[in-house]
Amino acid sequence: IGVCFGHQVIAEALGGKVAKAKTGYLIGVHTFYMLQHMPWIPHKKASFNMLMLCQDQVETLPPAADILAGNDRCPVGMYQIGYQFLTVQGHPEFTKAYDQAVFTHRSERIGQDRIQRALESFSLEPDRTWIVELMMAFLIHKSDD
State the virtual CA torsion across 70, 72, 76, 78 in degrees, nearest 10: -20
Q: Shortest CA distance to 77 belongs to which of 87, 85, 64?
A: 87
pTM, to two decimals: 0.93
Distance CA 11, CA 13 (A): 6
> How high is the pLDDT of residue 43?
85
Report yes or no: 51 and 96 within 8 Å, Cβ to Cβ: yes
Ranges in the chain, pLDDT < 50: none
> How high is the pLDDT of residue 145?
53
> How high is the pLDDT of residue 142?
66
Please state the length of the chain: 145
For 98-107, b/e burial (b = at least 16 CB within 10 A) is ebbeebeeee
**Catalytic residue flag (residue 93):** yes
Given the residues 4, 30, 54, 74, the one annotated as active site: 4
Helix (H, G, I), strand (E, B) or coil at 140: helix
**Catalytic residue flag (residue 125):** no
Domain range summary for the chain, segments of one domain joined by + = 2-144
Tell which CATH architecture fits domain 2-144.
3-Layer(aba) Sandwich (3.40)
Distance CA 50, CA 31 (A): 6
Helix (H, G, I), strand (E, B) or coil at 89: coil
Given the residues 30, 54, 74, 91, the one annotated as active site: 91
Distance CA 71, CA 46 (A): 12
